[in-house]
Amino acid sequence: MNLTNISELPGLLQLERLEKNLFRGNSRDIGSKYVFGGQVLAQGLSAASQTVEEPRLAHSLHGYFILPGDIQAPIVYQVDRTRDGKSFTTRRVTAIQHGKAIFHMAASFQVEEEGLEHQIEMPDVPTPDQLTEVQAAMQQAIDQLPDRLRRVFNRERPVEFCPVEPLNPFQPDKHPAKRNIWIRTNGQLPDDPNMHRNALAYASDFNFITTALLPHGISWLDPKLQIASLDHAMWFHRPFRADEWLLYHIDSPNANGARGLSRGSIYNTDGVLVASVAQEGLMRLRE
């Protein structure tokens, strides 16, 4: 089933409560063979959040992808209420399919506190309004693809992307290991801050590990390439809305051992750093 309407995203991430610490989620097809990693990450965060009393919000999560998810089967999320402290709450989440764990995550929640502040500056890049010609050129190139591929690239998704440096996956070339992409949900979300964290976790897995391929001139479409997310870490720094434009600045400092590391900084349009992301992914070249 395709996730083509933003109204479906809150339902996808809200989950069905089966028991006090047990939740069930369904999957949506985004054109990949297996369950999209960002979906499992966001649903795991949603399950953990639903066991935490307000006003504590997630400030960090660390997840490991263990097995590919079956897109046809529901996913059960089991939450371990590890600790409820005075300032911090800790949860562990296991995602289960067919009796096996496919994903593990630890998440931490904190009451709002005042403290010392600093942040790195946002890169100086054009705004989405200044990239309309780039977007039009990209769509024109997509329209010239064969039907099967055009349907994949034109598939509606709940997240909208506006790349600052557009790349052609059909004509890969070597580039520095960094990208800037404006992202937002394709429609307005409810005001619940947990939903915006869940939605940003979902969106953060798009366009991420592929940044580590840029110095090598290899496309994620290359049939010789086996690529998959191995882990995903995320830190939420300041309030934000996932349905407003956010700049996703990504770089890849290292690749070796058939693995690539990517890092991301996410800013709002005022240049405020709202979240940071890191992920190591499998990048295996096969004969």
- For this structure, is 252 an active site residue? no
Helix/strand/coil for 282: strand
Q: Stretch 277-285: mean pLDDT, rounded?
A: 95
Does the structure show a pLDDT above 70 at 218? yes
Residue 2 scores a pLDDT above 60: no
pLDDT by residue (tens digit) across 13-26? 989 999 999 999 99
Residue 272: the pLDDT is: 98
Cα separation, 245 vs 185, in Å, equals: 8
Q: Is 205 a catalytic residue?
A: yes
pLDDT of 4 above 60? no
Q: What is the mean pLDDT of the chain?
A: 90
H-helix segments, the chain: 8-14, 37-49, 132-143, 147-153, 193-203
* Other CB atoms within 10 A of residue 84 CB: 14
For 115-149, the pLDDT digits (tens) are 999 999 999 999 998 887 766 666 666 666 667 66
Catalytic pick from 14, 43, 108, 229?
Answer: 229
Q: Quote the CA–CA distance of 151 and 156 in Å, as a whole number.
A: 9
Question: pLDDT at position 30, please?
Answer: 76
Supply the pLDDT for residue 169.
73
Q: What is the DSSP string of 157-174?
A: -SEEEEESS---TTS---
How does pLDDT run across 25-67, given as a tens digit for each residue?
A: 999 877 778 899 999 999 999 999 999 988 899 999 999 999 9
From the candidates 39, 43, 108, 205, which is the catalytic residue? 205
Digit-coded pLDDT (tens) for 77-121:
999 999 999 999 999 999 999 999 999 999 999 999 999 999 999
Of the residues 27, 108, 262, 279, which is catalytic? 279
Is residue 171 predicted with pLDDT exceeding 60?
yes
The question of whether 173 is a catalytic residue gets the answer no
DSSP H helical segments within 24-102, as ranges?
A: 37-49
Q: Rounded to the nearest 5°, which phi and psi values hold at 209?
A: -65, -25
Q: What is the mean pLDDT of residues 191-198?
A: 95
> In this predicted model, what pLDDT tens digit does every residue of 219-273 receive, in sequence order?
888 889 999 999 999 999 999 999 999 999 999 999 999 999 999 999 999 999 9
